[in-house]
Amino acid sequence: MLNSMAIGRYYKAESKIHDMNPFAKLICIILFVALSMISNDIKLNLTISIIVILVMGLSHVPLRLYYKTIFGMRLLIIFIIIINFLIGANYIEITLLVLRLITLVLYTSILTLTTPPSEIAYGLEQLLSPLKIIKLPVSKLALSISLALRFIPTIIDQSNRILKAQASRGIDFQNSDIKGKLVAVKSLLLPMFVLSFKRAEDLGEAMEVRLYNIDKPRTNYRVNRWRFFDTYIVVMHLAMLTVVIARMIIK
Amino acid sequence: MEIKFNDVSYKTILKNIDIKFLDGQIIGLTGSSGSGKTTLVEMIDALVLPTSGNVLIGNYKVDNKVKLKNINDLRFNVGLVFENSEEQIFNTTVYNEISFGMRYFKYKTDQIEKHVKDSLNMVGLSEDYMHKNPFNLSHGETKKLAIASVLAFNPEILILDEPVVALDNRSKKNLIKIIRALKARYNKTIIIVSQDTDFLHKVVDYVFVMADGQIVMEGTKYDVFAKEAELLNYNVKTPQLIAFSNLVLAKKGIKIGYRDEINDLIKDVYRYVK
């Protein structure tokens, strides 16, 4: 079940998107989220979807990984449709909502699939660097986020192993009734907490024995240069957002 | 309960496995990392379904064509202890851990208590452990608890995946005693997956060697482990006792025979020197 989630997994490949500066990718994500949130038009949302598909193609990541991400959240999508249907939303509104959710998740997946966690941390640090003025511990925050991202696939693998152990003792998540599923999920929580804390402790100790000091300023092994392609993509996102805002004002 | 793999393949991990595990034997499965040992044993518990071929476990048939209706009956008959025992534990007390499946399937309280006590006895843990927190147990005790948890259903087949990893010498000896007792007293079929051939040599009757998803060697432990050069070819270490006997034969031309225990070997050598 949990194997279907591709969020947080990095896929190594050679592509323009992989080569982009992580800082530029994060700016694009923010602009894309804004764009997606303010566009209430179905045509515009379809255009956005086409752009997402184009970027997915440019990323050279197998489409099945994106498909797995969407397939993994099918229950959430069904839930959203049912709830909106019950509160009396019409089918255009529901389509818009679902389309928006799918494009947002896919766009975020492009970031995580094409950027290793350490690079995401670098991007976040750059993005949040202005906040250093108000004494916000930006490096610590970036490190925490990158570690959390790095642990998502590990935790998914871990829960898969626990579910397998439960199945071998008669409570199979996939093949049992709702009661069995609830028992399986309930008894998944305890070991997940215990093992996650244990792993976090192990990681902390491993970092300490390698003399990692969070208070020292960090340098980067690889210098992420800002290329023309980064400027081009950011400008494109900005232009799209400007056009949409301008259209809204004119209307 | 006899287990038969009929031309089983799974993705690129297992290729055309055609073997039989006989009832009441202790069977060893060895091979280098990534050779497909764990996938093979998980198929016996229907946790992994073959992409082609089928596995017959007594009257149960595991394949990818028909969904097994009585899957829980099969799993009660096959006890699988995973490599990382800590990951197999999901309750706050030893009692709850062992009775996990039984409570769900609404066994009577006195019946549950009997099963819990019996399985603790089988693995050599006292009843005082019942109310302890499993996350505070030592590695060896956790391993014993994991075995007790699967023994609670009194399975006919017991599968131990890498049971001696990170175990100290005393725990290893204890585990060997438990395995021998389970076979002798309860006549269980026991399948042990391990890269530790010294351990396998001490307990198993029959051995399978895997490489690249295929069974490359099989036979009684003396037949298989005596072929040092062939084992080396598949990146499997020859048990030390057998390696010593082979060395004596090669260097001095003396055949002292193969022994399971170091003490027996020492006696043989002493007799010969005397």
Same domain, B148 and B268: no
Measure CB to CB from residue B101 to each of A170, A188, A195 and give the nearest one: A170
Model pTM score: 0.76
Q: What is the mean pLDDT of residues A189-216?
A: 85
**Rounded to an integer, what distance in angstroms lies between the CA atom of residue B101 and that of residue B90?**
12
Number of domains in chain A: 2
Cα torsion at A27, A30, A32, A36 (round to 10°)?
A: -170
**What DSSP string runs through A116-154?**
-HHHHHHHHHHHHGGGGGGT--HHHHHHHHHHHHHHHHH
Tell me the nearest-neighbour CA distance from A105 into chain B, angstroms: 30
Same domain, A145 and A91: no
**Rounded to an integer, what distance in angstroms lies between the CA atom of residue B150 and that of residue B79?**
5
DSSP state of B219: E
Any CB–CB contact under 8 A between A202 and chain B? no
pLDDT of chain B along its 274 residues, tens only? 899 999 999 999 999 999 999 999 999 999 999 999 999 999 999 999 999 999 999 989 999 887 777 888 898 899 999 988 877 888 889 999 999 888 878 789 999 999 999 899 888 889 999 999 998 898 888 988 998 998 888 899 999 999 988 788 888 888 898 899 888 888 889 999 999 999 999 999 999 999 999 999 999 999 999 999 999 999 999 999 999 998 988 888 888 888 888 888 888 888 887 7
Within-domain flag for A212: yes
Within-domain flag for B128: yes
Contact A195 B72 (CB under 8 A): no
Specify the pLDDT at position A7: 53
Same domain, A146 and A214: yes
**Rounded to an integer, what distance in angstroms lies between the CA atom of residue B154 and that of residue B73?**
12
Specify the pLDDT at position B123: 86
| Phi, psi (degrees; rounded to nearest 5) at B61 | -120, 120
Measure CB to CB from residue A168 to each of B45, B91, B135 and give the nearest one: B45
**Rounded to an integer, what distance in angstroms lies between the CA atom of residue B71 and that of residue B58?**
13
Same domain, B72 and B164: yes
Same domain, A20 and A109: yes
Q: What is the mean pLDDT of residues A46-61?
A: 92
**Rounded to an integer, what distance in angstroms lies between the CA atom of residue A98 and that of residue A79?**
11
Identify all chain B residues contacting A177, using CB atoms and an 8 Å cutoff. Answer: none
Domain span at A195: 139-218
Residue B61: exposed, middle, or buried by beta-carbon count in 10 A (0-12, 13-18, 19+)? middle
Amino acid making up residue B239: P
User: Which chain B residues touch A if contact means CB-CB below 8 Å?
Assistant: 42, 45, 47, 67, 71-72, 75-76, 78-80, 82, 84, 86-92, 100-101, 104-105, 135, 149-150, 153
DSSP state of B136: G
Domain span at B204: 3-226
**Rounded to an integer, what distance in angstroms lies between the CA atom of residue B97 and that of residue B38?**
23
Residues in chain A: 251
Tell me the nearest-neighbour CA distance from B84 into chain A, angstroms: 9
pLDDT digits (tens, 9 = 90+) for A24-42: 999 999 999 999 988 888 8
Handedness of CA B150, B156, B161, B164 (dihedral sign): positive
Nearest CA in chain B to A164: B47
Within-domain flag for A127: no
Measure CB to CB from residue B82 to each of A158, A165, A187 and give the nearest one: A165
Specify the pLDDT at position B232: 94
Same domain, B202 and B147: yes
Beta bridge partners of B17: B8
**Rounded to an integer, what distance in angstroms lies between the CA atom of residue A43 and that of residue B160?**
58
Number of domains in chain B: 2
Contact in structure between B191 and B135 (CB atoms under 8 Å): no
Same domain, A171 and A149: yes
Same domain, A13 and A108: yes
Within-domain flag for B232: no
A3 token code pair: 């194997």
- Compute how many other C-beta atoms are within 10 angstroms of the C-beta atom of residue A79: 11
Contact in structure between B177 and B103 (CB atoms under 8 Å): no
B75 token code pair: 């799993």
C-alpha distances out from residue A153 to A109, A112, A119, B53, B226, Å: 13, 12, 17, 32, 43
CA nearest to B189, candidates B174, B179, B178, B199: B179
Which of B104, B116, B133 is the best residue to mutate to test the A interface, defined by the most A CB atoms within 10 Å of its own CB? B104
Same domain, B61 and B155: yes
**CATH code where residue B68 lies:** 3.40.50.300
Same domain, B83 and B217: yes
Same domain, A212 and A232: no
